[in-house]
Structure 1
Amino acid sequence: MTTRRSEALGLQDWATLQTEIVSCCRCPRLVAWRESVALQKVARFRDQLYWGRPVPGFGDPQARLWVIGLAPAAHGGNRTGRVFTGDPSGDWLFRALYRAGFANQPTSTHREDGLQLQDCYISAVVRCVPPENRPTAIEAKTCLGYLKQELELLTQVRVILTLGHFAFQHALTLLPPLRPRPRFGHNCVIPLAEGRYLLASYHPSRRNTATRLLTEPMLDAVFAQAQQLLSGKPARPGEH
């Protein structure tokens, strides 16, 4: 099969997966909540049309870096239809991605803002906004099939960066069992099979950034670590 033919089939697989995600209605509680938020809105976005559906992944299908978060924000991804877009967590993330050379601009405000990711793909464990940002175990398990399909399609991925403990624990379920089971720690690197790595970071949530549990230099250090791993050099000592 020619390279061009393979690429065309790959893009078709991505399109099929994204269509499946966007049309998903398997979790009644999340369906009701995402639609309720989209109808009620908040004052500062009352003139905007909310997405109000599951939010697919976004980025470079040939990415070597895969970033995984928790779920769309009520007035971020659930409003804009793009993961980590239009909310404070995304502001932190995309500034860091830009500084590290994985994004062509430091801002992500809406789906047509010109943002392009380079060698990076971004997903969330749960694709619908959950009440109080807390999906149930069953809801997370229901969504994991989408994450697994993305892992299968991201054939070039070498570094899986999880933002927060929730994403870290659920990413582990997609991988061959590791003994002893790895523990979450900021900027912690876990070697995987076939030259891949699992990399952990605190989530750039408002709570973590406001309390300075996570600072911009700390987040930059995580992406420097990712670059180091992608270059084939030994991992740097992690921060804990």
Structure 2
Amino acid sequence: MDTSALTGLDQRIAECRACPRLVTWREEVARTKRAAFADWTYWGRPVPGFGPPDARLLIVGLAPAAHGGNRTGRMFTGDRSGDVLYQALYDVGLASQPTAVSADDGLELSGVRITSPVHCAPPANKPTPEERNTCRPWLVRELGLLRPTLRAVVVLGAFGWQAALPAFSEAGWRVPRPRPAFTHGARVTLDATDGQGGRDGQDGREGQGGQDAQDGLDGLDGLDGLTVFGCYHVSQRNTFTGRLTPAMLREVLTTAARTAGLPAENVVPRGPHGG
């Protein structure tokens, strides 16, 4: 694929100021900081996706954490949710190390990319529907650029599921009607459309990334199908209560990776991360 196009998209995402509430919040958090990170220079901007441009598997979250991605500038890096996710990716052979503490820590992903439907940290981790729709064209464009190799997606949580389905439709995959409901372990195969993309969520085209999203729909003939998996979000609420265990997460990631054509091991590690 055109690596420079994805790099350019990431740079444009990092410069976005389309949602006033989110801009104010992310920058305020970056100024005031958390005491534990007082010596950090916070990123304080939209956080672009992370992972190789030829990824066969995409993981879609919710939004960056105020003192996680909003601080470090990389998806799921520097927070408890990321601790769980990257440990699981390492366990199944998709990450080079089990921890993610900063953007320059040497972590590399193998065949998998991580993104989110909202790229700015929202107050109380709750983007509004308008903010979700305004940010959607960035996801549509990212899907378009990943299209040559992308074969499977793991969506973390109901919010991500609801945000991602219209994006898949706009990017050229046929989403069933009624739309499939989110459940942990859900598996839906989306066939390719004839190249025109879907018509759901057209209001998302009005965001700052609208033209990028439209450009990403060119040449969709021959698009392969996409298998979408649902997984509970790796939030502390889910992982601390046992609603999502490490074993459950590893199982979804392993199945999705194999579906995407990636080698993956269904490993049960020793120690506290065993599931």
TM-score (norm 1): 0.91
- 1:113 paired with 2:109, answer no
Q: Kindly, what percent of the aligned residue pairs are identical?
A: 49
- Number of residues of Structure 1 aligned to a counterpart in Structure 2: 224
> Are 2:116 and 1:86 aligned?
no
CA contact (8 A) 1:189 1:199 kept: yes
Q: CA deviation at 1:101?
A: 1.2
Residue matched to 2:38 = 46
1:123 aligns with 2:115: yes
Is 1:221 matched with 2:251?
A: yes
SS in 1 for 2:118: coil
* Worse-matched range after superposition: 147-156 or 169-178: 169-178
Once residues 63 and 253 of structure 2 are traced to their aligned partners in structure 1, the CA distance between those partners, rounded to angstroms, is 21
CA distance in 2, matches of 1:103, 1:86: 16
Distance in 1 (CA, whole Å) between partners of 2:261 and 2:153 is 15
Q: What are structure 2's unaligned runs of at least 5 residues?
A: 192-223, 263-275
Q: Alpha carbon RMSD of aligned pairs, Å?
A: 1.2
Q: What SS class does the counterpart of residue 200 from structure 1 fall into?
A: strand
Answer whether contact 1:187 1:225 (CA < 8 A) is retained. Answer: no
Q: How far apart are residue 177 of structure 1 and its match?
A: 3.1
Most deviating of 31-40 and 181-190: 181-190
The secondary structure found in structure 2 opposite 1:192 is strand
Counterpart amino acid of 1:164?
A: G
Q: Which residue of 1 aligns with 2:166?
A: 173
Task: Identify the residue that residue 155 of structure 2 maps to in structure 1.
Answer: 162
Q: Map 1:176-187 onto structure 2 (within 5 A).
A: 176-187=174-185
- Of 134-143 and 194-203, more deviation after overlay is shown by 194-203
Quote the offset at 1:115 in angstroms. Answer: 0.4
Match of 1:207 among 237, 250, 266: 237
Of the three residues 143, 150, 165, the one matched with 2:135 is 143
Is 1:18 equivalent to 2:16 in the alignment? no
User: Where has structure 1 moved over 3 Å in runs of 4 or more?
Assistant: none
Q: Does 1:61 align with 2:53?
A: yes
CA offsets 1:183-218 (integer angstroms, 9 cap, x no match): 111121101113320111000100111111101111
Unaligned runs of 5+ in 1: 1-6, 233-240
Matches of 2:86 and 2:150, distance apart in 1? 19
